Structure 1
Amino acid sequence: MDVAILSVSLNVYSTARIAEEFEKAGHFVEHIDHTKCSVQLGGDKPRIFFGTDNITDDFDAIVPRIGTTVTRHGAAIVKQFEINHVFSTAHSLGIVKARNKVSTLQLMSKKGIPVPKTVFSINPNNVTDQIELLGGTPVIIKLQEGTQGKGVILAESKKSAISVIDTLYAMNSNILLQEYIEEANGEDLRIVVVGNKIVASMKRTSERDDFRSNVHRGANVEEVQLTPREKFMAINATKHLGLGVAGVDLIRSKNGPLLIEVNASPGLKGIEAATGLNVAKCIVQYVERKVKRK
């Protein structure tokens, strides 16, 4: 196969690992910086350019690794590949939905997948009402499109919550508020789904001075056994978003597992280290099956 990995940089562990496994399997793989791609519409057939090179018909499959700051352009490039009948490990619309936490939670709620109590609004005058809807403080304040734990704040009092929310509203930031699940105790689950199959899962535990359990923030990781309910939630969340590869984040509460978010470009470093599993190879095998069937 000829495969393109859409990523701003190849000097990232996950991107490099996927490229390495494609090459080991005997495939041609090329790194394409999607921020340097453009689409030409009109005429007989839309064309995709990487710089000045026409790459419209160069690839059998693409693996999108789209960054937060260029989500919409990256998704538009993915969509054009889809229109041109090139297989993608993530649907363009799924990338956009997964990047926005509100869109993800709305869809999950509609599909019956449990999520934490969540409130979002753009009205700065009803902050107190929003907090009360969640049962009071402490509350979690999140940027709707933050990643790796960035833009996630724990407000332990109503006064601090109002101060933070007022500041974010003044900066025209899109935010949401969530109930604080105390019994989660700074732990969450990261589950990697590839082709409607769970290939790896780990528990992330935050450092003592940080409630966020992201690997990029120094969380401790270990392999974890999932319950049937957790497996069901992870597989179906990925399916509902139209993603072939995803990282699903859950927390364990006294009322059962709750979905926090879904990542369309999950990092592989932490989970490969925690489990000893070759997740990148699973992604390659998934693409092989799909392209062969197509």
Structure 2
Amino acid sequence: MIVSFHPRFKGDVNLRLTPKDGFTKQEAETIAAARAIIVTQYIKAHQYKFCMARCSNIFPNYANRFGFEGKYGNTQLFRMFSAPHPETVCYESVEDFETRHFANQEPLMPFPFVLKGDRGGGGWAVFLVRNRHELIQRLETLADTYLHATRRFISQAFIPHGGSDLRVVVIGKTIKTYWRCQHKPGEFRNNVGRGAVINYNLDSKLTREGINCVQKFSSKTGINLAAFDVLFDKEQPEPKPLFSEINFLFGRKGLGGSAPFHELLYQAVQRWIKEL
């Protein structure tokens, strides 16, 4: 029996996910009897955990999503699986940063470096810090719990990416890639919402290396629906892929829009079911 919580996929039994705390007794029995379960990208951690405890076959595989979302969590996951990523320091809060670096004199990462708030898409709360004055300004923003509720953040070595990064989208066993290229003067963030343009044919050699890196990581983690942002240090003669971020919820513009994405997702689910 296939149970689907996804409105675009018809299972033998179709259920709905709601914001409520749990499932009914009948729903729990149905989940426990399922051979496989299909869920949406918007499933909550407690809902996924409940399903996973009763059925081992769930698409997407989010065993390494919850607890590892956001820039802070991504870093923990990269470290856990020895994935290549820029030098990164994690902080629980601005107070943690100030205690370590201002009170205890722990050396700062060399300027320039990047501060990244834990949550927020489109390059929000991502700052290039070139000096101590800019550092103090950015820490004030990250200390505002109204704007930055999770409080956690990271500092990360700036990678001279030359105004582009590679997005690698994993949809089941299908891989789609495109480059996000920033031509706006003074803007180091390569988000489309920040003016970056999409390029599908920028550098085939680095694209292949990025794909191989993501495939190795996905095979270790089981992640089969996510968009990975990959950086290359263009000042190196042979730049190697570095993970910047994992997006479990991601924009679809580079995939051609929602319709092509849903078709790719449908094909991925059908293949996954056949291989059970």
Structure 1-normalised TM-score?
A: 0.72
What corresponds to 1:206 in structure 2? Answer: 182
* 1:237 pairs with 2:217: yes
Higher strand share: 1
Report the residue type matching 1:181 in the other structure. I
Once residues 244 and 29 of structure 1 are traced to their aligned partners in structure 2, the CA distance between those partners, rounded to angstroms, is 23
Report if aligned partners of 1:192, 1:266 keep a CA contact under 8 Å in 2.
Answer: no
Deviations 1:212-260 (A, max 9, x none): 2123334210114344432221112233333221111101112422110
Higher helix share: 1
Once residues 61 and 3 of structure 2 are traced to their aligned partners in structure 1, the CA distance between those partners, rounded to angstroms, is 19
Q: How many residues align?
A: 257
* 1:264 pairs with 2:229: no
* 1:134 pairs with 2:134: no
What corresponds to 2:77 in structure 1? Answer: 107
User: CA RMSD of the aligned region, Å?
Assistant: 3.5
Deviations 1:70-110 (A, max 9, x none): xxx71211222223327433334422244132332233234
After superposition, residues 139-154 of structure 1 pair within 5 angstroms as 139-154=113-128
> Percent of aligned positions with the same letter in both sequences?
23
Deviations 1:185-234 (A, max 9, x none): 33111101133x45210000235153221233342101143444322211
Unaligned stretches of 5+ in structure 1?
Answer: 7-18, 49-53, 67-72
Report if aligned partners of 1:115, 1:259 keep a CA contact under 8 Å in 2.
Answer: yes
Which ranges of 4 or more aligned residues in structure 1 deviate by more than 6 Å? Answer: 26-31, 54-59
What corresponds to 1:39 in structure 2? Answer: 22
Report if aligned partners of 1:198, 1:235 keep a CA contact under 8 Å in 2.
Answer: no
From the superposition, tell whether residues 167 and 218 of structure 1 become closer, same or farther in structure 2 (CA, over 3 Å): closer
From the superposition, tell whether residues 59 and 266 of structure 1 become closer, same or farther in structure 2 (CA, over 3 Å): farther
What corresponds to 2:152 in structure 1? Answer: 174
Once residues 62 and 175 of structure 2 are traced to their aligned partners in structure 1, the CA distance between those partners, rounded to angstroms, is 23
Once residues 207 and 13 of structure 2 are traced to their aligned partners in structure 1, the CA distance between those partners, rounded to angstroms, is 37
Once residues 179 and 235 of structure 1 are traced to their aligned partners in structure 2, the CA distance between those partners, rounded to angstroms, is 24
